[in-house]
Amino acid sequence: MKVGNFSSLQVLSYLEPRMNLSNSERNKRQNLYKGFDGEQAVYNRLIQQLPPSYHILTDLLLSHNTSEFQIDLLLIGENTIFPLEVKNYEGDFIIQNDNWYAVPSQNEIRNPLHQLKRMEILLRKLLKKGNFNFSIKPYILFIHPEFQLYQALPDFPFVFPTQINRFIRSFTSSPFQSNSHHNRLVTFFENQRLSRSAHERLPKYAYEKLKKGVVCQECSHFLEVLNKKYLVCHNCQSTEPLEIAIKRNIVEFITLFPNEKITTNVIHDWCNGIHSKRVIRRLLKLFLQPVGVNNHRYYVVKQ
């Protein structure tokens, strides 16, 4: 069972069917989802087209001293690493004196080059701390087909929608052998990776106030028992195998309440008593590691 990516997007997605989110929280979830979707699309293309010697890391939240920084996608090449920032901006923008404005509204947006520069500086310090001697070549990938930027210069580290194919192809022309040096760097980043940002602002939520049950993946209504092996959604009629649905619900619980003890009673309640405690206990034993005996038994994520 893979648990551990406690991103804001996940937490908000798990909360949405279970409580009333404010409009701004709902918008935030939508924006995060769009961003995630864009990164996923680029990741899929990279993984298909890049030579296997390239390592690709996604969604890296890192810090140097106490300064956090985030990298959407990180390619590890022979002697160079390529941090890629994916932007899903839509519409027309113009750069004037280092400031970015939407056209025609003239609303100023944050200059993504500043963010990129900051990330590069912090990343360089982090590499130095780990005694790695890779050079860093960052890029911003604009992926929306209806994005246009005026006054951009050719030497800006930008990849526009019409250039993405060529950009990806440029990596295939320089094959290399991946070695233990590259593997050590991957391990270094995985160890440095933060699971949750200190600056994350999530809605306040309490267990007692959340709706309990197993959420339908198709429509966000709550599932009910169809038979011994399947759950059903009476809103969209989709069905899901019991084990897969309960497993997902356990992951949601652990993500939302990482400090709570997992017991049969707790998960039985979290699933709104959808099946007997005996069934829940069987599934907990299947997916997690039991600790202790009888009435004192609880479960932890398998290492």
- CA distances, 13 to each of 7, 20, 82 (Å): 10, 12, 30
Q: Are 58 and 72 in contact (CB under 8 A)?
A: yes
In whole angstroms, the minimum distance from the beta carbon of 240 to Zn ion comes to 9
Of 40 and 235, which has the nearer Cβ to Zn ion? 235
- The radius of gyration of the chain's CA atoms, rounded to the nearest angstrom, is 23
Of 194 and 236, which has the nearer Cβ to Zn ion? 236
User: What burial letters (b/e) apply to 207-238, b meaning 16+ CB within 10 Å?
Assistant: eeebebbbbbeeeeebbeeeeeeebbbeeeee
User: What burial letters (b/e) apply to 37-53, b meaning 16+ CB within 10 Å?
Assistant: ebbeebbeebeeebeeb
Q: Are 239 and 253 in contact (CB under 8 A)?
A: no
In whole angstroms, the minimum distance from the beta carbon of 130 to Zn ion comes to 46
Total residues binding Zn ion (CB under 5 A) = 7
Measured between alpha carbons, how far is 47 from 32 in angstroms, rounded to an integer?
Answer: 22
With 0-12 / 13-18 / 19 or more C-beta atoms within 10 angstroms meaning exposed / middle / buried, residue 54 is buried
Find the part of the chain contacting Zn ion (CB under 5 A) among 91-99, 138-146, 215-223, 256-264: 215-223
Of 40 and 237, which has the nearer Cβ to Zn ion? 237
Of 114 and 234, which has the nearer Cβ to Zn ion? 234
Q: Tell me if 86 contacts Zn ion by CB under 5 A.
A: no
In whole angstroms, the minimum distance from the beta carbon of 238 to Zn ion comes to 5
Pairing mode, strands 230-232 and 224-225? antiparallel
In whole angstroms, the minimum distance from the beta carbon of 124 to Zn ion comes to 48
List the one residue from 143, 215, 216, 246 that touches Zn ion (CB under 5 A). Answer: 216
Lookup: tokens for 256: 């939302």
In whole angstroms, the minimum distance from the beta carbon of 239 to Zn ion comes to 10
H/E run at residue 100: strand 99-103
Of 236 and 291, which has the nearer Cβ to Zn ion? 236
Of 10 and 220, which has the nearer Cβ to Zn ion? 220
Find the part of the chain contacting Zn ion (CB under 5 A) among 141-149, 184-192, 214-222, 261-269: 214-222
Backbone angles phi, psi at 162, to 5 degrees: -75, -10
Measured between alpha carbons, how far is 284 from 191 in angstroms, rounded to an integer?
Answer: 28
List the one residue from 37, 190, 200, 218 that touches Zn ion (CB under 5 A). Answer: 218
Find the part of the chain contacting Zn ion (CB under 5 A) among 131-139, 177-185, 220-228, 245-253: 220-228
Of 216 and 256, which has the nearer Cβ to Zn ion? 216
The 232-271 contact track toward Zn ion, x by CB under 5 A, reads: -x-xx-----------------------------------
Q: Tell me if 31 contacts Zn ion by CB under 5 A.
A: no
In whole angstroms, the minimum distance from the beta carbon of 237 to Zn ion comes to 7
Of 16 and 90, which has the nearer Cβ to Zn ion? 16
Residues at the site binding Zn ion, with contacts judged by CB under 5 A: 216, 218-219, 221, 233, 235-236
